[in-house]
Structures are given as structure tokens and as C-alpha cells.
């Protein structure tokens, strides 16, 4: 049960418990968990007036606390699931349109699907900075100078990020 803090708003008393709960939902990512709990607290603050009658005195205080805690946990869970769904979705603009229409005619469809899944997982394992450079240089066929200008980074940084990203992919897919 949450400890009573007389000066904290009702929802704020559950912050630590919510943070532990959301960390489990986000596979232990403390930054994402904190963002989700912060958004939950914001929604509780915005809905405070709506819930003031429901949670402030019409019923016994322990039941009010239980209902508030349940509401906060549901909101936090929904926000965590929404964040997870957003991560899984692939933005439409990530693949150049010219590559979408190309198909290898000599490749088995099942093998192509397995390859695509493996490559997608390997790219997802890269940091966003490395992945952006690979997409620009290898998928969009931009020069290093163009990539540097588009991403707002020095040309040497483009070269090193591409090198380390390709090294990581080579470790993921060793030569047969």
C-alpha cells in the first residue's frame, strides 16, 4: 500500500509503484519508463477535476485510493503498449520508393521473407544514428557529403558511423 504523503497530490503518491510497474512493461528501460510515468501523471493532473468527486470523499478513503491506483495503472499500461506498437511500426518513408517495386525473380519467396526479417532485426539492433547513416548511404545512394549535409554532421562522422554500422552487421551475418 502507498505511504501517505499529506502534501503530495493523490496520484503523485503512486509514482514509485507506477515506475516499478512500467519498468517491467518496458523491459527495464528506465528512460522510457520515466517518460510513460510522467505522461500518466500529466493525464492524472488533467483529469483531476473529473475525478475529484469520484476519488475525494463519496466513498471510503481506502476504496478511493484503490480506484485511483487502478486507473493510474491502466493508463500507464495503455501508454506502454502504445509506445511498443509505435516502435514496431515501420515508417512509410524509411524505404526509398524505387526499391519497393524491385523484386528478385530468382529468389524463393519464403527465403526472401526470412532474409528481410533477419535484416530488419539486425538494423533494429543498430543505434538510430548508425541506422540513419546506412539508410542514406546504402539505401538512398547518397554520397558521404550529401549524407553529412542532410544529417547535419561532419563528413568524417558519416564515414565512421557507416564503418561501425557495417562492422556490426558483418558480425550479425558472418560470411558462410
**Confidence at residue 107, expressed as pLDDT on a 0 to 100 scale:** 59
Region 94-119: mean pLDDT is 66
Cell of 51: 475525478
**Confidence at residue 6, expressed as pLDDT on a 0 to 100 scale:** 46
Q: How far apart are CA 132 and CA 83, in angstroms?
A: 21
Which pLDDT band holds residue 125 (cuts at 50, 70, 90)?
confident
Residues 69, 2 contacting (CB under 8 angstroms): yes
Site of grid cell 561501425: 164
Flag the least confident range among 14-28, 59-73, 85-99.
Answer: 85-99
Instruction: Compare 42 and 66 and report the one with higher pLDDT.
Output: 42
Residues 169, 148 contacting (CB under 8 angstroms): no
Residues 14, 2 contacting (CB under 8 angstroms): yes
Which pLDDT band holds residue 162 (cuts at 50, 70, 90)?
very high
**Res 109 pLDDT > 80:** no
| Helix ranges restricted to H, the chain | 15-25, 30-46, 48-55, 61-88, 97-100, 109-124, 128-134, 144-151, 155-172
Burial 68-90 (b: 16+ CB within 10 A, else e): bbebbbebbbebbeebeeeeeee
- pLDDT tens sequence across 11-64: 788 899 999 999 998 888 889 999 999 999 988 888 777 666 554 445 555 667
Q: How far apart are CA 74 and CA 84, in angstroms?
A: 15
Instruction: Compare 168 and 93 and report the one with higher pLDDT.
Output: 168
Site of grid cell 518513408: 93
Which pLDDT band holds residue 104 (cuts at 50, 70, 90)?
low
Q: How far apart are CA 48 and CA 9, in angstroms?
A: 9
Q: Which of 13-17, 63-67, 102-106 has maximum average pLDDT?
A: 13-17
Across all residues in the chain, what is the average pLDDT? 79
The CA–CA distances, whole Å, from 159 to 11, 69, 96, 98, 133 equal: 49, 50, 21, 25, 9
Flag the least confident range among 60-69, 138-147, 151-160.
Answer: 60-69
Q: How far apart are CA 65 and CA 61, in angstroms?
A: 6
Phi and psi, residue 118, nearest 5°: -65, -45
**Confidence at residue 89, expressed as pLDDT on a 0 to 100 scale:** 66
What are the counts of helices (DSSP H) followed by strands (DSSP E) for the chain?
9, 0
**Res 158 pLDDT > 90:** yes
Amino acid at each position: 500500500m502507498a505511504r501517505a504523503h499529506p502534501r503530495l497530490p493523490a496520484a503523485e503518491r503512486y509514482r514509485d509503484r507506477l515506475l516499478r510497474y512500467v519498468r517491467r512493461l518496458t523491459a527495464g528501460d528506465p528512460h522510457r519508463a520515466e517518460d510513460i510515468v510522467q505522461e500518466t501523471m500529466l493525464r492524472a493532473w488533467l483529469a483531476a477535476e473529473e475525478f475529484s468527486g469520484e476519488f475525494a470523499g463519496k466513498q471510503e478513503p481506502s476504496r478511493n485510493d484503490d480506484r485511483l491506483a487502478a486507473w493510474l495503472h491502466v493508463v500507464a499500461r495503455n501508454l506502454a503498449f502504445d509506445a511498443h506498437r509505435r516502435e514496431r511500426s515501420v515508417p512509410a518513408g524509411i524505404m526509398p520508393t524505387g526499391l519497393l517495386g524491385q523484386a528478385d525473380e530468382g529468389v524463393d519467396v519464403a527465403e526472401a521473407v526470412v532474409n528481410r526479417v533477419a535484416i530488419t532485426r539486425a538494423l533494429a539492433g543498430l543505434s538510430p544514428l548508425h541506422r540513419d547513416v546506412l539508410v542514406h548511404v546504402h539505401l538512398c545512394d547518397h554520397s558521404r557529403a550529401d549524407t553529412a549535409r542532410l544529417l547535419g554532421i561532419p563528413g568524417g562522422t558519416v564515414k565512421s558511423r557507416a564503418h561501425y554500422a557495417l562492422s556490426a552487421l558483418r558480425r550479425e551475418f558472418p560470411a558462410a
